[in-house]
Structure 1
Amino acid sequence: MVKSKWLNFTILLTLTFSFSSCSIKQQSNYKAEWPSVSNITQPWTRLWWHGSAVNKKDLTANLEEIKNAGFGGVEVTSIYGTKSYEKEDISFLSPEWMDVINFTLLEGQRLDLGIDLANASGWPFGGKWISADDACKNVRYKIYKLKEGERLKEKIEFIEEPLVRAVGHKVNISEVKFPISSNTNLQELALDQVRFEKKLPLQILIAYNENGEKIDLTNKVKKNGTLDWIAPDGNWKLYAVFQGWHGKMVERASKGGEGNVIDHFSENAVKQYLEFFDKNAEDIRLKDIRAFFNDSYEVDDAQGEADWTPLFFKEFEKYRGYDLKNYLPALFGNDSEEINEKVLCDYRETISDLLLDRFTKIWKQWSSKYNAVVRNQAHGSPANILDLYAASDIPETEGVSVLLIKMATSAGHVSGKSLISAEAATWLNEHFLSTLSEVKKNLDRYFANGVNHLVYHGTPYSPGSEEWPGWMFYASVHFAPTNTWWEDLKTINSYVTKCQSFLQSSKPANDILLYFPIYDAWSERGKSMLKHFGTQNEELTKDISEMLLANGYTFDYISDKQIKQLTVEDKKILSDNSEYKTIIIPNCDYIPLTTIQKVINLAQEGATVILQNDFPKEIPGLNDLNYRQEAYQQIKNEIKFNSQNGYESSQVGKGRLIKGNNLGIILDDIEVLPESMAKNGLWFNRVNREEGICYFISNWGDKDIDQWIQVCSNGKEAVWFNPMNKQIGKSEIRNLSEDHAEVYLKLGIGETLILQWYPTKQNVADYKFYEKTNDVMNLDSEWNINFIKGGPTLPNSYTSKKLESWTEHSNELKWFSGTASYKTTFEKPGFKTTAYMLDLGKVCESADIYLNGEKLATLVGPEFQLTIEDYKLQNTNDLEIHVTNLMANRIIDMDKKGINYKKFYNINFAARDRKNLDENGLFTAKNWKPLESGLIGTVKLIGLSSKK
């Protein structure tokens, strides 16, 4: 079964990570070969169910297409429906829905496809069964002023102003009923946020005077809102805190999944949500779900924030050790600057703790009843996302920011996760414009920064009867059989499988732990009560992170909670399966006393700790502040530093504490060496496998690489693995030393190689690197161009000696999207060579190459060059090249003719770029010109010689 394979794979990884002494004794058995593969090493894809309007026949067909394309699994996510398919919609979590989920699981077993399931229809968690009591809340407050002897004339009350926000159209609040679940047209309404005009419940009323006295007046407020109290001596400010209703609705929900978003800070709300799933799953076998999925925290992409929960005062006192009701002026920024920031920091830390303990951990614990794990996107949360990721079984990232990708991978590394996933290729480009080359670049960025499990975004289920282009999701990329390059995607998927076979059978080999100083953000007032993390480049560590990356240093971020779990052995800092050479505390203003105490303890046990510039200035939080400040000052006073090489150093127990700003010098002195390939523009990921150190290396710079590269590792021999063409061969090595070596590398733009060190000699030939000679033959004879697949119809074939975009040949071809066969015949070149480079020149957009009837390769760019061994050429040769263009030209034609394919509820079909919006606010390509398509320019055969 799929589940048992998942569990066995996890056990295998655990054993692989052990690096036991037994394996060292068997070093002679290491063999240079590709690691084994499974459905976990293959890429997965998000499978959108529009309206859950699926049937078993088409489900089978869809899943078989996905399997045949080289995917290992799918994540099922139910979303908004398709117009005219309302009768086929299946209500989320209904018995019928559970039945098709069960069928999907059975088909997954048959096809060896893993199945994940989104725990919500759309995102975030929520639905019709979530009442106002369990929905997300916000805090509202009013301040009243009274003098001695005065009685408050106005009522203690807060009336919520009505608000309604909908997707794609305007809705009047009068059209929406309370409770939300009573509305029968939620698909059509597509509500994003709703607040009704209602009197909000009073949480607390506290009176404060100028002498610091406080009086709890909550019980003095009558049911009608009048206050039965006369102010005593002094001037009084009365702070009334009300529990508001944030009003966020589930986004992109399908039928039955619409409704209130849950209160993520309430254990009761979370359990109520999950218990509804349990109730509906009672008679369905769901033990073969691999993982339950949570999309990114998007509760607050609305008006205001969900920043409260009914038990917040009680929870705050439990976590922070004092009564927040005594500090309401500070919470809302009306006390001294110091007290304001201390209390606000404590408030934000409590929100973080609640999101971790009341949501993430509860959800993870719940999943175990189904023998499943959780896959979690923590980014965007008002919490320390390093802790949220670490509490998840499979942390998942998305986007293109390296720093944000590393937040998820760092947490995964520090907490010993075997899989770290990414929602890959989301909105790479405008609809229908993303190329497979762009996809590969996106995937390589994830691999280079620690991701080892890709989940594409994504693949919509589509009925077999649906006209081209079928059902589509509003955000590209369209990884579906109706995409012109679907067949060529198999090559990318094979590439991903090969890369992940290495990366999943490894553990991280990073040198540095970089403290994430979240208390600096929590202590800064800002524009709102909450601070969200993981939505853009985090300014907290941006400068030092970019410096480390640019210079080739390898690092993982670490949180305060994670620092508490660190240990030291032989001067190495250990965190679960990973070991590090040092930990850096970057320039920051705040650090908890417990964190700095642990860091000093690590130094005493033998670690090297670096303070960038100096100790952080202050201790955050209010409780026991004087005690903690004094304890911190004592720590600083007791450590004596000596000047050394432009920085200061102190021997602390068995280790060292260093402070200074020239990190390059400091890291060099403590033998934390950078990987110099970073300065060559190479993307890389260094990992540790049982055989030895391994590198994923990809070139997305602006020039080819052809040089010796120094690496901070060594072994007896090193072997290159090419995950695109599956070539294997030994690397040339020179200047081998105890901590580094040089290897020869030749890597074109967009190419990838994997370097694996071995402790023993390997019985494989040298890797073949070639260099161009001056011998060139242009293939300028006549080409027969025949259109073999695509539409709207198959154009007539034609011949040409000049290769130009097929859109220039006829008006019909301007709007054709599909595949053309280019055939020509050529004589073997007269020049002597060991191999040839077939250079296709400009290709729009991918190419399958056949020589004398044998398929040689699929090329996806950005360079379209293929090495062909001399023996493959005959005296007379038949060359056939299948070139596939993008979907765009056919879509342009459809938009110009008004042929409707945008027929979905909710957001329907949005544009990435506003210039591509039509008068209805939907995507359109009607103003586009046809995109170049096919082979363009001159195809060449270039002589090659072996690189000496």
Structure 2
Amino acid sequence: MKHFIFLSLCLITVFSSCEQNNQQEKETGRINWPEITQEMKPWTRWWWHGSAVTEKGLTASLESYQEAGLGGVEITPIYGVKGEEGRVIDFLSSDWIAKLVYTLKESQRFGLGVDLANASGWPFGGPWVNEETACKYVTSRVFQVKGGQTFSESIHYVQKPILRMQDGKKLDIKDVKAPLATNGDLQEYAFDQVRFEKSLPLIMVSAHKSDQKGFTETIDLTDQLEDGKLTWAVPAGEWVICALFEGLHGKQVERAGPGGEGNVIDHFSRIALDGYLDKFDTAFKNHDISYLRYYFNDSYEVDDAHGEANWTPDFFTVFQQINGYDLRNYIPALLGLDTPETNSRVIYDYRMTISDLLLENYTKPWQKWAGAQGKGIRNQAHGSPANVLDLYAASDVPEIEGREIVNLKSAASAAHVTGKKLISSESATWLNEHFESNWGDVKNAVDNMFLSGVNHIFYHGTAYSPQEAMWPGWLFYAAVHFAPTNSLWGDFKTLNQYVARSQSFLQAGRPANDILVYFNIADHWSERGNNMLKHFHSNTLFDDLSLKVCGDYLSDNGYSWDAISDKQLQDVTYQNNQLLTHGNSYKTILIPEASLMPAETFEKLISLANEGATLLFVKDLPEAAPGMSGKTGGTQKIENLKNELLFKQDGNRRIANYGKGLIVVAKEIPELITHAGVQPESFYIDGLQSIRRAKDDGNYYYFIKNTSDTLFKGWITLQADYASAALYNPMTGAEGYALTKSDESKTAIYVSMRPEESIVIETFKDVYTGELYPFYEKLDNAIVLSDWKIDFVKGGPILPESLSTDKLQSWTIYGGDYAYFSGTAEYTTTIPALPDSTDTWLLHLDNVNESAAIYLNNEYIGTLLNAPYELELPVDALRGNSLKIAVSNLMANRIAYMDKQGVTWRKFYNINFAARRAENRGEDGLFSARNWKPKPSGLSGDVILIPLKRTIK
């Protein structure tokens, strides 16, 4: 690193005339990397297979993680390893707690933070969750009858049996006993969902009279049943008899470790949550877990099974409290049997109630429980049938996963709007097939997270593995393997340094986005569809909403934005020409196309306009309010407010002045944005993307990435008030003031960025000068290096013999031991005498599979993780003549060798290594690399030294 920060050292010397001047310049414009803290470093999910951990193994693992540059671990106990049953420690047992306490003490000693999953596997559940507190579903029987008849029938529902196994194992339900805990080794069974054939308890039975306008009368018949049989003289008219039954959903904790297997909780029941958390209180009592930082929830995955967990025993009571009417009078609408309008309004109210239950009976109480211990919660709210923005807002650290930026912005939006500092992410989950991802792939995935607003990376992830375990050790089935057994581990520290430097800026200051985009959930919740619930999954979270169209346009065209929910909108105020939300400010609100909107939301929007805000409506104002309240008064309230607006046509726009503010309606988003005083970042047109943070002194940090596949070189302007700027390269550590030029309106900054390269720009309102950031241009007379010696220094299955060559090509072409070697090879050569007429030299490597650490005269210079594989070499380091390039390849070739040889390394309970792609499934349906050909490894093509001339001095 010291070779890349010599500019900084020079700069410090120039500005160190006295302590007073140093302090002043630090406060007002000195180039200054933020100090790296524990939370700025990347963390990793740390799977404990069977919790088969030892103190010796824990210490060794934590030490290796600390040396690699990680900032902390999140402990998630999961299923065990076959053959290691003697080491297993049951979840939350006294031995398990002892290992947790030891881990906390050792982590503190190594300077690593610790979070803990609030379950063994996911979702919340375990053997202490009984049938009363387990997740439930509602089902129905419907009878159509006519007046003048006597209805006489047994009212019962026999549940169809379901048996799903997490590892795909086939088993007859007849061979499974109830309760499941009596079936012996639950690790071996790995139940995912189980329902036995049995009659379900009746919730209620009611009759509903229908006519052409829908259902007009309801009679509760529940008390008229005798021994399960209903005999009822049907009054005149057409009637529908609806019987509701409550069943156990049957979902079991996924990937649970020993002692953690069992029912998933009823997430809608406060009693269920309290009983679940009591187990942890009892287990932790009289133990020092003060160093533990946050508890964690690994998304809402209750319904990735057959059917939905869509009921809780006191649902009717809670529904009436929230909505002001008795749902029992609208059972046909709940089942989709009423008029389209009533069906729509009732299902909206039902879904809104489910959302409130997840918020009020699960997320908030869980956070309060953690807070009472002086801790917090990291929560993956996605996947749930709720307004995820509200669930994220109730979390201390919202966490997201996925790949698509607009959907990833959901967690960051909630954090930004509610003033939370950290947004975490489950990062690099199964990027490619097993053993095919390199650190460059991970960097690009992480950059995507950064651009969405994430600033607290968690890798997915690292499995605890004993030091003595046969290579590749214990691994997780759906991951990039961030473990010391990974042949790329030696270069992991470079990636982690990059993440830490980036996050040191991304955690500073506060968000600086311009546009609030309304999360228009009412239309979505009012669409009946085939299911009672609507889930918001991370990869498709906004996809079914018109918000996605707005988000795509804004993100593609350089506008900064956050989504905001109905609840969050109620806290927005307008002051000094800004929309304020918990310390952050915005310039306008964009309302995507919405037919339905809660009346209180529309009223709040109009109130903000009255105070001076500019509102931008896509296509039209809302037509009505959702739910039954919308029918009884909400829609009329919206109409009354709309009647106060006097629109004038302005081209393709309609514009209304209201109070001190402005309301604009247009079909196309570009026609709206121009009225909000919001300007895009113009460099997006060149393939650059960014996220911006505001500092307390009024200056900004910009994280900018070149997402194109070509070099960008030229001038850019920023949507900020600045007169000068500093540049920081989080990969190399290079820094310097920016070359700028100004006209009457803007100051432009010169940058040069390779494909996939990132840079941080710090703006200053005042003019500061000093050593400029080093940019170079290539000169002629490049030198191709030759006479290579290749030594295989680390890896296996065995170390191949050394090679000498003038033609660099994948080492796998040599066959034999070379073809299936995974590890590190050192390429060494002698550099010829170089002329002194250049400013510096560029080392260019044509092809690297997969990462390359560069040494000059045995002194480390830097590591290259992705193309283009280029590195400026410090002039002082070139005074010798020895070049060494240590290249590490993927784990894939060694894994393929083991599979071809029939070596058993997949020995895990529950799920024994699934393949990501179908072509990589073996005869047993699980992952196999036996058909893989050796993947290119090492250096190939030319290694070139290119003279460089510094373009900015």
Verify same fold: TM over 0.5: yes
The whole-number CA distance in structure 2 between the counterparts of 1:148 and 1:81 is: 62
1:709, CA displacement in angstroms?
1.3
1:25, CA displacement in angstroms?
11
Name the counterpart of 2:356: 353
Give yes or no for contact 1:180–1:260 (8 Å, CA) kept in 2.
no
Name the counterpart of 2:723: 716
Deviations 1:853-882 (A, max 9, x none): 2211111112111112444323x6111111
Matches within 5 A, 1:550-589: 550-589=556-595
Name the counterpart of 2:904: 900
Which residue, out of 343, 346, 361, partners 1:343?
346
Which residue, out of 292, 297, 300, partners 2:295?
292
1:177 equivalent to 2:190? Answer no
1:96, CA displacement in angstroms?
1.1
Give yes or no for contact 1:46–1:76 (8 Å, CA) kept in 2.
yes
Matches within 5 A, 1:427-576: 427-537=430-540, 538-540=543-545, 541-576=547-582
Q: Which moved more, 1:365-374 or 1:248-257?
A: 365-374
Give yes or no for contact 2:26–2:32 (8 Å, CA) kept in 1.
no
Matches within 5 A, 1:258-337: 258-337=261-340
1:752, CA displacement in angstroms?
1.0
Helix, strand or coil at the partner of 1:97: helix
Deviations 1:304-358 (A, max 9, x none): 1111111111111111111101111111111111111000111111111111111
Give yes or no for contact 2:152–2:231 (8 Å, CA) kept in 1.
no
Deviations 1:819-874 (A, max 9, x none): 11111112223472111111011011111111122211111112111112444323
Name the counterpart of 1:664: 670
1:763, CA displacement in angstroms?
5.5
Give the partner amino acid of 1:34: W
Deviations 1:383-432 (A, max 9, x none): 11011111100000011011221011111100111000000100111111
Deviations 1:497-529 (A, max 9, x none): 111111111211110000011111101111211
1:811, CA displacement in angstroms?
1.4
The whole-number CA distance in structure 1 between the counterparts of 2:743 and 2:893 is: 54
Give yes or no for contact 1:470–1:482 (8 Å, CA) kept in 2.
yes
1:647 equivalent to 2:658? Answer no
The whole-number CA distance in structure 1 between the counterparts of 2:742 and 2:281 is: 62
Which residue, out of 744, 758, 763, partners 2:750?
744
The whole-number CA distance in structure 2 between the counterparts of 1:567 and 1:455 is: 34
1:811 equivalent to 2:835? Answer no
Helix, strand or coil at the partner of 2:158: coil
Name the counterpart of 1:18: none
Helix, strand or coil at the partner of 1:873: helix
1:367 equivalent to 2:370? Answer yes
Quickly say closer, same or farther: Cα 1:814–1:571, change in 2 above 3 A. Answer: same
Deviations 1:247-282 (A, max 9, x none): 111100000111111111111111111111112221
Give yes or no for contact 1:49–1:461 (8 Å, CA) kept in 2.
yes
Name the counterpart of 1:15: none
Helix, strand or coil at the partner of 2:782: strand
Helix, strand or coil at the partner of 2:442: helix
Quickly say closer, same or farther: Cα 1:422–1:209, change in 2 above 3 A. Answer: same
1:58 equivalent to 2:57? Answer yes
The whole-number CA distance in structure 2 between the counterparts of 1:417 and 1:889 is: 44
Name the counterpart of 1:7: none
1:714, CA displacement in angstroms?
2.9
Which residue, out of 600, 618, 626, partners 2:624?
618
1:842 equivalent to 2:847? Answer yes
Deviations 1:642-687 (A, max 9, x none): 2235312222111111111233243234320001122211221111
The whole-number CA distance in structure 2 between the counterparts of 1:659 and 1:267 is: 43
Which residue, out of 239, 258, 268, partners 1:255?
258
Name the counterpart of 1:891: 895
1:737, CA displacement in angstroms?
5.6
Give the partner amino acid of 1:779: L
The whole-number CA distance in structure 2 between the counterparts of 1:50 and 1:845 is: 29
Give yes or no for contact 1:27–1:759 (8 Å, CA) kept in 2.
no
Give the partner amino acid of 2:724: E
The whole-number CA distance in structure 1 between the counterparts of 2:56 and 2:744 is: 61
Name the counterpart of 1:706: 713
1:734, CA displacement in angstroms?
2.1
Quickly say closer, same or farther: Cα 1:121–1:213, change in 2 above 3 A. Answer: same
Name the counterpart of 1:934: 938
| TM-score where L is the length of structure 2 | 0.95
Name the counterpart of 2:801: 796
1:26, CA displacement in angstroms?
9.6
The whole-number CA distance in structure 1 between the counterparts of 2:472 and 2:262 is: 31
The whole-number CA distance in structure 2 between the counterparts of 1:783 and 1:49 is: 43
Helix, strand or coil at the partner of 2:755: coil
The whole-number CA distance in structure 2 between the counterparts of 1:661 and 1:161 is: 50
1:180, CA displacement in angstroms?
2.5
1:220, CA displacement in angstroms?
1.1
1:229 equivalent to 2:235? Answer no
1:27, CA displacement in angstroms?
8.6
Give yes or no for contact 1:397–1:421 (8 Å, CA) kept in 2.
yes
Name the counterpart of 1:188: 188
The whole-number CA distance in structure 1 between the counterparts of 2:210 and 2:567 is: 38
Give the partner amino acid of 1:800: T
Give the partner amino acid of 1:548: L
The whole-number CA distance in structure 1 between the counterparts of 2:64 and 2:210 is: 72
Q: Which moved more, 1:727-736 or 1:800-809?
A: 727-736
Identity %: 46
Helix, strand or coil at the partner of 2:151: coil
Deviations 1:144-171 (A, max 9, x none): 2333343333211111111111122112
Matches within 5 A, 1:27-426: 29-167=28-166, 168-210=168-210, 212-222=216-226, 224-426=227-429
Quickly say closer, same or farther: Cα 1:529–1:736, change in 2 above 3 A. Answer: farther
Q: Structure 1: which 5+ residue stretches go unaligned?
A: 1-23
1:29, CA displacement in angstroms?
4.1
Name the counterpart of 1:16: none
Quickly say closer, same or farther: Cα 1:809–1:410, change in 2 above 3 A. Answer: same
Give the partner amino acid of 1:183: N
Give the partner amino acid of 1:807: T
1:47, CA displacement in angstroms?
0.4
1:736, CA displacement in angstroms?
5.3
Give the partner amino acid of 1:912: R
Give the partner amino acid of 1:850: Y
Q: Which moved more, 1:248-257 or 1:146-155?
A: 146-155
Deviations 1:561-581 (A, max 9, x none): 010010011121001121000
The whole-number CA distance in structure 1 between the counterparts of 2:27 and 2:275 is: 56
Q: Structure 2: which 5+ residue stretches go unaligned?
A: 1-22
Helix, strand or coil at the partner of 1:308: coil
The whole-number CA distance in structure 2 between the counterparts of 1:712 and 1:279 is: 54
Name the counterpart of 1:733: 740
The whole-number CA distance in structure 2 between the counterparts of 1:597 and 1:520 is: 18
The whole-number CA distance in structure 2 between the counterparts of 1:28 and 1:131 is: 59
The whole-number CA distance in structure 1 between the counterparts of 2:804 and 2:177 is: 66
Give yes or no for contact 2:599–2:630 (8 Å, CA) kept in 1.
no
Give the partner amino acid of 2:921: L
The whole-number CA distance in structure 1 between the counterparts of 2:311 and 2:676 is: 47
Deviations 1:705-730 (A, max 9, x none): 11111211132320000111111111
Give the partner amino acid of 1:576: H
Which residue, out of 690, 693, 697, partners 2:700?
693
The whole-number CA distance in structure 2 between the counterparts of 1:710 and 1:662 is: 26
